[in-house]
Structure 1
């Protein structure tokens, strides 16, 4: 640190430094405060947007439950308007379920494939993937469904994946392959209670 001989030299040095750097200090303070208030505004705006999307999602699902597929266009509009939020994926799943109930499997598969490609939640991805496989098999593409399920590797879902593979093999008439898949499913930690019944039926 530079030493000064008198207070006057120190004052003059401070004046010179401020003259050279004062604007930068003020600008930095303004930017810093602006960033702080800007971040708080962003957080508040994000929370408000999420709450609005949540309310809109609840209304959309209610319309779907009340009107069925007559509400399809409003559901699709919600999905398009909220494509960057997970609410859109949930809405797509609800719409797909309604379409399956109505027997419109192709539209349901389209919704499920979109949801699978756009979800950011790893926890819901296996649910979407398995539903898509089931719908694909309902469209008659059992071989495609089997090919897809053979690539699935979701931790904690081994039993459900193997059971669905068994269902698909049985649908093709491959009883031996179905029994093998069911037996594998029975050994998994997520095995369903229906596995033993399916194995017993095949053993008859």
Structure 2
């Protein structure tokens, strides 16, 4: 760094520096402020979009509750048009449930697979995989069901996953594997109260 002998020299040096760099400083400041206001605008837009999606989601869920399967077209339109994906994913899960109740397993499976590929929520992923596996098993796609269960690594799902593996093994005629899976499931924190009944049936 240069040392200046007098204040006049310092002032002259500042003037010279400003001539050379002033434009760049102004542009930087403008861009910086523009970025700040742009970011705030973006954040406001995200909040507004989320609030609108929440209201629309509530509306279509109310329609689903009142109309049941007759509201499928409305739910699908919401899923296809909504910009906030997580609300669309939640709607797809609800629509899949209605489709399962209506015995339309293929349509429910399609909804769940769409939800699986569009969610970033780590809490939803095991739920979606579990439901996909149940439908695959119900449709007789037992290998696909087991493959889907392998995607779930969350320990909170250990019991339910093991129990469903037991159900699948039983459908495959493998009682020994079913017994092992049910026993494992019974030891998990999320064990189902029906497990003992299943184990008793296998012991007969």
TM-score, length-scaled by structure 1: 0.90
Quote the RMSD (CA, aligned, Å).
1.9
Cα displacement (A) at 1:8: 3.6
8 Å Cα contact 2:126/2:157 also seen in 1: yes
Match of 1:26 in 2: 26
Alpha-carbon distance change, 127 to 118 in structure 1, aligned in 2, over 3 angstroms: same
Q: Aligned to 1:192, what secondary structure does the other structure show? A: coil
Aligned counterparts of 1:148 and 1:131: Cα–Cα separation in 2: 9
Deviation track 1:10-57 (CA, whole Å, cap 9, x = no partner) reads 333222222211111111111222222222222121111111111111
Structure 1 stretches of 4+ moved >4 Å: none
- Of residues 140-149 and 25-34 in structure 1, the stretch that sits farther from structure 2 once superposed is 140-149
Structure 2 CA distance for partners of 1:43 and 1:111, relative to 1, 3 Å: same
Distance 1:7 1:127 in 2: 72
Residue 155 of structure 2 aligns to a residue whose secondary structure is coil
Change (3 A) 1:44 1:176: same
Q: 1:69 to 1:83 in 2, by over 3 A?
A: farther
Partners of 1:104 and 1:125 in 2: how far apart?
22
**Residue 70 of structure 2 aligns with which residue?**
70
Q: Distance in 2 between matches of 1:51 and 1:87?
A: 11
5+ residue gaps, structure 1: none
Q: Distance in 1 between matches of 2:151 and 2:50?
A: 34
- Structure 2 residue runs of 5 or longer lacking an equivalent are none
**Structure 1 residues 193 and 17 mapped into 2: Cα distance closer, same or farther (>3 Å)?**
same
**Further displaced range: 93-102 or 116-125:** 116-125
Q: What is the deviation of 1:119?
A: 1.2
TM-score by length of 2: 0.90
State how far apart, in whole Å, the 1-side matches of 2:188 and 2:159 are: 5
- Pair 1:188 & 2:188 matched: yes
- Number of aligned residue pairs: give it: 204
User: What are the residue-to-residue correspondences of 1:9-158 with 2, within 5 Å?
Assistant: 9-82=9-82, 85-150=85-150, 152-158=152-158
> What per-residue deviation string (whole Å, max 9, x for no partner) do you get for residues 116-166 of structure 1?
122101111111111111111222223432343355433221111010111
